[in-house]
Structure 1
Amino acid sequence: MATDSHVQYLYNKYGEGADVCLAEGSLGLFDGFHRMRGSSAEIARLLNMPVVLVVNARSTAYSVAPLIYGFQQFNSSIKVAGVLFNQVSSPSHYACLRDACADAGVKCLGYLLMDEGLKLPSRHVGMTLTVKQTLEDVIARAAEQVEQTVDLDRLLSICQRSFPCTYTLPFCSEVGVDSFVPSSRKLRIAVAKDPAFHFTYRENIDRLGEWGKLTYFSPVYSNELPEADWIYLPGGCPELFARQLHRRKKLMEDLKAYAEAGGKILAEGGGMLLLTRSLTVRQGGTAYPMAGVLPIDCTMVGARMHLGYRRIEYAGLDLRGHELHYSQAINPKALPSAGQQFTTKGLPVATPFYRYKNVIASYTHLYWGETDLRLLWKR
């Protein structure tokens, strides 16, 4: 979703004052949109960062040796600094895994034992919490075990690198940071933020903060819509809160009135669902009324995953984003698409990119770190 130099710029920007920089991987190390392009391995190469493999040791032992060896040898530009084992059954099990690392020629940095208290259910290729869990409790429990079974000093030592990133040049976005400095900082920007709407990119929020004053509001817990020049409805999981959301009658009415009056709204993923006519969560269940800004009805029935990086041609702009959702529109053509979406290989995607008055909505989560957001409404 971003140029190589922009990734380096972000790494330098956010890592400058940090004691530790951690890039969390997604999927397998070499899994990208085309071979390793766009993978965690490519990010490691681009930022000259060492890789620590986290290996699931459940139901395996010495057989991890060729697996680890293969990851280490597969690409010479990727430095595998060490291995951490997850779901280890016992200290004796770990001893066997440690021998496997020694024979594979990779440093063994420690392990986590199987622990139901650390088990996080997955949802939509991410993690979530059970009703009885809090994030703070899980982190505290994990930290206690890590302190006992992971060699943290060695981990930090072997991952020592010079900073800032000086692997390749240039080190800032081709677009240029100065191009985003606004002439006025008086814009009022309302951002939805609660358990139903929290899928955001840090750089996106920081960009909004450069344009004006951010005010956060909760569609789940409040009926109040702040006075705003722009409204940003990010992605999330509103289907888990459909009943609570449809009870926010005043908020729904205010959103619709704001849109009809020409107010600027950017809605992505779950944020778009809030603007539809209705959301059905289960077979034979209630079609919960939403704000009704868009003449679209969405459902979780027959849900299947839609996933991938996207390029969007819209109003002369070339936008970048990521599509990930399980819900679907029952009547997607009730409003014509204002843009065309493509896969990373240039194949057209049927996912619409809606424009109604000054409302821009899509299942795709845009990344605008290298895009002037004002241009979305220039047309």
Structure 2
Amino acid sequence: MKPQFLIGAASSGSGKTTFTMGLLRALAHRGMKVQPYKCGPDYIDTQFHSLASGNVSVNLDTWLASERHVRSLYHSYGKDADVCVVEGVMGLYDGYSGMKGSSAAMAALLDIPVILLVNARSTAYSVAPLISGFARFSPDVRIAGVVFNQVSSTSHYEYLKEACRDIGMECLGYIPYTKALKVPSRHLGLAWGAQKRMDAQMNQAAELMEKHVDIDRLLEVCSTAWTARVEKTECQGNMTVAVAKDAAFNFMYRENMAQLNRLGKVIFFSPLKGDALPEADLVYLPGGYPELFAHRLQKQERLMNELKEYAERGGRVLAECGGMIYLSRSLTNRQGDKTYRMSGVLPLDCTMQNARLHLGYRKMDMAGEEWRGHEFHYSDMVCPDACPSVAVLQNAKGMEVKTPIYRYKNVIAGYTHWYWGEKNIMDLWN
């Protein structure tokens, strides 16, 4: 038996991330080994999870990967943990197509119970039909208990507990309205740039959990039989992979990195520090926030020249979003008054000016097979006709999108963060 559960909510904005961070930190303070997971493709919440728990969080996404792979990931990373905690995405039943890809579908796939977080601001007994509907909507989803957020007073909480009693739902506690308890903006790198502030908020949230949430009872009602379904994977090659990793480049799926390790040896380097480019068979430039550090990046001329020389020699490079921006000729800020020099590997110029959010699942056919990923960015590329996209990308519903994928010699770059947890990324160059 092991406590394992998914934290879901009635809607986005209910406080899932704050609650998850506080609970992860509270469990860690108790000396428990916690394995966090994120339902969906988000690579920012996983950084919050890792900071709160002390363990690297894992993405679970049935659109990016097969159900078999997702189940294997869950059991592989959770087998030695004392408790497994999955943070859901959006509302409990919100998926990319109906319920498909939703948090509820994930809980059913993994056969784990759900803790439903309900934003109780400006409501009281009316939560009864809301909770009852969520609990009865799908026979495959078991809601083990409810926690309320944004509770204004103890008398307010009494109304909420009464609602739970009347529908036979276990009430596990609440989070009082606390103005200071707010997750920093998910954009502009605050996942890295405000770690001290985040750490203090996690401790504050953990204190609230211990005081107002019955954590012992939560763990009890969510303890279910652990059935290991672990697929053995071993190192398959002797390649060397160089991976950019620092405050400017840090959007990485954990299982992607595991796959790179299976290719051979992974060496990390920091473009911000101007590290020399390691000798490698593949260079991986992941996404991140190069726009926040453009003034520092443009000073690292040696590394930019080494990247350009490596690419000209036919070296293999995979660059995603922020990594692609670093390979462009220049980056213009949001105000449009400053332009920073980038490495110039690709004949592209990037601008943040008048940019809007581009978001969603993406897929493409390349090298004879389908690749899937996720797009999340605010910048745009000024692309000359000399650098057309080499593949057509589609969204989750199969509709064509304008997101490009570029190739120059053996450099493959684009805005999409690809998931290759059950694929060989080297197949892209076949």
- Which residue in the other structure is 2:123 paired with? 60
The one-character-per-residue Cα deviations of 1:149-204 (angstroms, maximum 9, x if unpaired) are 111111111111111267xxxx75xxxx66x742x33x221111122211111100
How far, CA to CA, are the matches of 1:60 and 1:332 in structure 2? 54
How far, CA to CA, are the matches of 2:77 and 2:376 in structure 1? 26
How far, CA to CA, are the matches of 1:66 and 1:340 in structure 2? 45
- Conservation of the 8 A alpha-carbon contact between 1:304 and 1:326: yes
How far, CA to CA, are the matches of 1:161 and 1:127 in structure 2? 36
List runs of 5+ in structure 2 lacking aligned partners.
1-63
Amino acid at match of 2:132: Y
- Which residue in the other structure is 1:9 paired with? 72
Task: Map 1:274-353 onto structure 2 (within 5 A).
Answer: 274-331=326-383, 333-353=385-405
SS in 2 for 1:23: strand
Match of 2:427 among 364, 375, 379: 375
C-alpha deviation, 1:340, in angstroms: 1.7
1:142 aligns with 2:194: no
1:225 aligns with 2:277: yes
How far, CA to CA, are the matches of 1:75 and 1:319 in structure 2? 31
SS in 2 for 1:97: helix
C-alpha deviation, 1:278, in angstroms: 1.2
- Conservation of the 8 A alpha-carbon contact between 1:120 and 1:129: no
How far, CA to CA, are the matches of 2:188 and 2:132 in structure 1? 27
How far, CA to CA, are the matches of 2:188 and 2:224 in structure 1? 31
- Conservation of the 8 A alpha-carbon contact between 1:50 and 1:79: yes
List runs of 5+ in structure 1 lacking aligned partners.
none
1:71 aligns with 2:134: yes
- Conservation of the 8 A alpha-carbon contact between 1:223 and 1:249: no
SS in 1 for 2:160: helix
- Conservation of the 8 A alpha-carbon contact between 1:233 and 1:266: yes
The one-character-per-residue Cα deviations of 1:108-140 (angstroms, maximum 9, x if unpaired) are 111222334421123359974775843332222
Amino acid at match of 2:71: Q
- Which residue in the other structure is 2:175 paired with? 112
- Conservation of the 8 A alpha-carbon contact between 2:334 and 2:355: no
SS in 2 for 1:33: coil
Amino acid at match of 1:145: L
SS in 1 for 2:86: coil
1:209 aligns with 2:261: yes
Task: Map 1:46-195 onto structure 2 (within 5 A).
Answer: 46-124=109-187, 128=191, 131=194, 133-164=196-227, 181-182=235-236, 184-185=237-238, 187-195=239-247
C-alpha deviation, 1:332, in angstroms: 6.5
How far, CA to CA, are the matches of 2:384 and 2:422 in structure 1? 29
How far, CA to CA, are the matches of 1:332 and 1:162 in structure 2? 57
Alpha carbon RMSD of aligned pairs, Å?
2.2
- The number of residues matched between the two structures is 367
Structure 2 vs 1, CA of residues 4 and 62 (structure 1 numbering), >3 Å: closer, same or farther?
Answer: same
SS in 2 for 1:303: coil
Match of 1:258 among 302, 307, 310: 310
SS in 1 for 2:294: helix
Instruction: Tell me the TM-score normalized by structure 1.
Output: 0.90
